A and B are shown apart, each in its own frame.
Chain A
């Protein structure tokens, strides 16, 4: 197996292999991506740099001697930081994993039974267009103790009174937040997977079948490795988003302990202007954690690829 894979040759200029046999020089690639890169680095990079300065305590018109890392230190020393970090990690990891598992099953089922069913695809696209904020408020109306479901169930006699309805919003286990994220992210991951699955065709699977591979075996050794890069990428996006998003935990979370983005916002909007750098410091930490996650997962992927190439 290893012999058939060519070792990557690095001669002269560094080349990026995109697909089989197609190579693009770094310079050309840079020019192609320049418009997008410039906008991203200007808007996001600029925002990050400005934010970083404010997190250091810089305000226009303020003396420079008060600038330093004390706001970061203060945030990190607060016992609430780890509480909030824990909640944010719990929310984003749980929702990403559940959404990913459901999406894999859904994508496979769609490929099998409804590959060309336009109505089905249209329905799946609806959640993509609805903003998180809208879904958060909808969840509030549906799931709260005086919400639609609670009233419906007590009306139908399933519950003796609406006060027996389980606590699904502002609750301990963040069920409300998780359900919004899972509902929103499933179609996103599913579409990412469908794009790969459609290109994959059925040949490989058929080869697997002729080699007597059972269904689980074919999934494990054929389908999963093929969808893994997009699945990983999609999961990373979902993780990064749910980890940094503010509106859903703000609406559906408990007052305390709160998710990191909510804590950041609270500090930022504090009447005490001195709390503002701390809010931004939390935001910077959020961004840092997400960037680290992305770099780390890319490293893992790279390592994995190199290992396979060097076999």
Chain B
């Protein structure tokens, strides 16, 4: 018995080694700069950073603080290239690769995650692995599943984290002093309070993430859905999720005959007292709504005991980028405590840090902890210790399609 076991173990080891070496020989075909070389070569280079440009707060942070600090500290010129959807840039890179343009590309850095990152990896459009060369990576909790995998795609240092977002449940402590803390008790609460809960209809992003929480809870596992599952297992778990949601339908707002089309609408139903819960994929949005006078100041947030889904957004360098050295320096600077702190300030952007505050030296940790946060926002520690990774984007898409078919249309 033990002989068989050792044999199996050896074979497994050998196989893993073989796979790894094949994979690495594929992935490591390009020479990646060392950090010292990157800094040396970066001076005077211009980084064209392609990113979604729809948020004035983000644009201001990038063109103001980041651009001037990079100029001052490293002599790098940061140029933001705002786009509507980074998918446009990805398809541009695909075309460039097909056309054989292997260097001198116009994109030096891009703000990316999820499906777009997966496409880039599949089509081998990225430079790297570079993230492990960055000194500021010491502050990143690399064991965190939301940093290791990006919607189920292994990151493997082909992109470097920049910030993150996490789902929080929103309630009014004056109306609901003891909100249900687990998904199972929330389901019971909904059934006992018909008409007082709803969620935005998927494929709305916020509604869709609610479905995934139910899916995780129904399936009874989280890590499995990062890639280590069979089609049959997924189907079974998904079908059980749909029947649970169908069962819930009659207890929802308006008996589930219609759903809010957006989280904004759900928030106004919540503020109007039509429903008792709201939720957001942005941990500080409830506090912001209190500041804006949309929510009463008795509103609070919580995360489920089993955790809530979080995702990290990253920056990546295209394989044909012209100024790779400077792009690496920028990616490193983005992870610096000073840049992350500035980004986390509510009046600047209020984005959740990509670095773990527990890994910071005492003085910096202090500064993060004393950062003014709204009354409804949970501490970084509570949030970071309750993070669940997003499943593979394939799962996300088929859950949305399945919800529409089974729950919405009742087929």
* Of A1-9, A197-205, A248-256, the one touching chain B: A248-256
**Which residues does chain B contribute within 8 Å of A266, judged by CB atoms?**
203
Q: Given the interface contacts A146-B272, A254-B258, A255-B408, does A271 sit within 8 Å of B95 by beta carbon? A: no
B70 within 8 A of A: no
**Cross-chain contact of B115 among A61, A254, A271 (Cβ < 8 A):** A271
A227 to B: closest C-beta gap in Å: 39
- Chain B interface helix/strand/loop/mixed: helix
Determine if B257 and A60 form an interchain contact, defined as CB atoms under 8 angstroms apart: no
Q: Given the interface contacts A170-B258, A255-B261, A271-B393, does A61 sit within 8 Å of B94 by beta carbon? A: yes
Determine if B269 and A255 form an interchain contact, defined as CB atoms under 8 angstroms apart: no
**Which residues does chain B contribute within 8 Å of A80, judged by CB atoms?**
409
Interface residues of B in 361-411 (CB under 8 A from A): 393, 396-397, 400, 404, 408-409
Interface residues of A in 193-236 (CB under 8 A from B): none
Total interface residues on B, CB under 8 Å, equals 24
Determine if A255 and B274 form an interchain contact, defined as CB atoms under 8 angstroms apart: no
Total interface residues on A, CB under 8 Å, equals 19
A205 to B: closest C-beta gap in Å: 49
Q: B239-279 interface mask toward A, CB cutoff 8 Å, 1 = contact, 0 = none?
A: 00000000000000010011101000000010011100000
The answer for the CA separation of A250 and B264 in the assembled complex, in Å, is: 14
**Which residues does chain A contribute within 8 Å of B400, judged by CB atoms?**
271
Q: A108-145 interface mask toward B, CB cutoff 8 Å, 1 = contact, 0 = none?
A: 00000000000000000000000000000000000001
The answer for the CA separation of A272 and B323 in the assembled complex, in Å, is: 32
The answer for the CA separation of A35 and B174 in the assembled complex, in Å, is: 63
Determine if A273 and B87 form an interchain contact, defined as CB atoms under 8 angstroms apart: yes
B389 to A: closest C-beta gap in Å: 17
| Chain B residue, CB-CB nearest to A251 | B261
Determine if B91 and A59 form an interchain contact, defined as CB atoms under 8 angstroms apart: yes
The answer for the CA separation of A251 and B264 in the assembled complex, in Å, is: 11
**Which residues does chain B contribute within 8 Å of A273, judged by CB atoms?**
87
Residues in B lying within 8 Å of A, measured CB to CB: 87, 91, 94-95, 98, 115, 201, 203, 254, 257-259, 261, 269, 272-274, 393, 396-397, 400, 404, 408-409
10 pairs, CB–CB < 8 Å, chain A vs chain B: A60-B91, A60-B95, A61-B94, A146-B273, A255-B201, A255-B258, A256-B409, A269-B203, A271-B203, A271-B396
